[in-house]
C-alpha cells in the first residue's frame, strides 16, 4: 500500500545533517587509508591519492545520505501498528503490528543530543528483526509517539492470558 503523504511521519532535517557528518567522517577515514596504501606502495603521490580517495568516497556517501533521507518515512496507524519505509538501492517496507509490539525505548546519543534528535526503538516479539528504529525524531515527537503507542498497548485486550 502506498502511504498517504499527509499522514506519513518524516524525519527532522537534522537527521540529514547527522548522516552527512557520518559520511564526511567515513570519507576522511577512506582518504587516510588511501594515503597509507600509497605510502606503503611508495608511489610518491601519498597526499594526492589520499585526497582523491577522500573526495570520491565522501561524494558517494553524501549522495547516498541525501537519497536515504528522502526515502525514509514512517506511519503510525492507530489500532493497527507502525509502517516504516526506507532504502535507496534495496527498499523495504517494515510493518510492526500492535499485537507484536513488546516495549519501546527512546534513545539519544551524543550526536543526536547535539542536533536535537531522538530515536524511538520498537521491540517486537520473536528473534528475527526484533527491533525497528524510527530515527530523526524531535525529542518531544519521540515521547509523544511512544506514549501514544503505550496507551494503545494498555487499552488492547490482554494477549496470551488464559480465560477465567
Model pLDDT for residues 111-154, shown as the tens digit of each residue: 999 999 999 999 998 766 688 999 999 999 999 999 999 999 88
Residues 101, 55 share a domain: no
pTM for this predicted structure: 0.76
Strands of 81-86's sheet in order across: 73-77, 81-86, 92-97
Left, alpha or beta for 138 (phi > 0: left; psi -120 to 50: alpha)? Answer: beta
Q: Is residue 140 part of a domain?
A: yes
- The pLDDT mean for the chain works out to 84
Q: Show the domain range for 29.
A: 13-69
Average the pLDDT over each of 10-24, 42-56, 85-99 and give the range with the smallest value.
42-56
Residues 65, 80 share a domain: no
Q: Cα–Cα–Cα angle for 88, 138, 74, nearest 5°?
A: 40
pLDDT given for residue 14 in this prediction: 94
Sort strands 131-137 and 118-124 into parallel, antiparallel or unpaired: antiparallel
Residues 38, 109 share a domain: no
Q: DSSP states of 56-70 as a string?
A: HHHHHHHHHHHHHHH
Strands of 101-107's sheet in order across: 101-107, 118-124, 131-137
Residues 82, 65 share a domain: no
Say if residues 32 and 75 touch (Cβ distance below 8 Å).
no
pLDDT given for residue 31 in this prediction: 74
Residues 150, 88 share a domain: yes
Kindly indicate the confidence band of residue 74, based on its pLDDT and cuts at 50, 70 and 90: very high
Q: Which of 69, 91, 112 is the last residue of a domain?
A: 69
Amino acid at each position: 500500500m502506498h502511504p498517504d503523504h499527509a499522514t506519513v511521519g518524516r524525519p527532522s532535517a537534522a537527521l540529514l545533517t547527522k548522516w552527512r557528518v557520518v559520511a564526511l567522517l567515513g570519507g576522511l577515514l577512506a582518504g587516510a587509508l588511501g594515503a597509507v596504501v600509497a605510502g606503503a606502495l611508495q608511489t610518491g603521490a601519498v597526499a594526492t591519492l589520499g585526497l582523491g580517495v577522500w573526495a570520491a568516497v565522501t561524494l558517494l556517501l553524501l549522495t547516498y545520505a541525501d537519497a536515504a533521507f528522502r526515502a525514509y518515512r514512517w506511519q503510525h496507524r492507530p489500532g493497527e501498528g507502525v509502517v516504516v519505509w526506507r532504502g535507496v538501492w534495496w527498499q523495504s517496507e517494515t510493518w510492526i503490528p500492535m499485537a507484536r509490539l513488546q516495549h519501546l525505548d527512546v534513545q539519544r546519543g551524543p550526536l543526536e543530543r547535539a542536533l536535537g534528535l531522538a530515536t524511538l526503538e520498537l521491540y517486537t516479539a520473536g528473534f528475527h528483526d526484533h527491533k525497528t528504529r524510527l530515527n530523526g525524531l524531535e525529542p518531544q515527537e519521540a515521547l509523544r509517539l511512544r506514549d501514544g503507542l503505550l496507551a494503545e498497548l494498555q487499552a488492547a485486550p490482554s494477549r496470551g492470558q488464559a480465560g477465567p
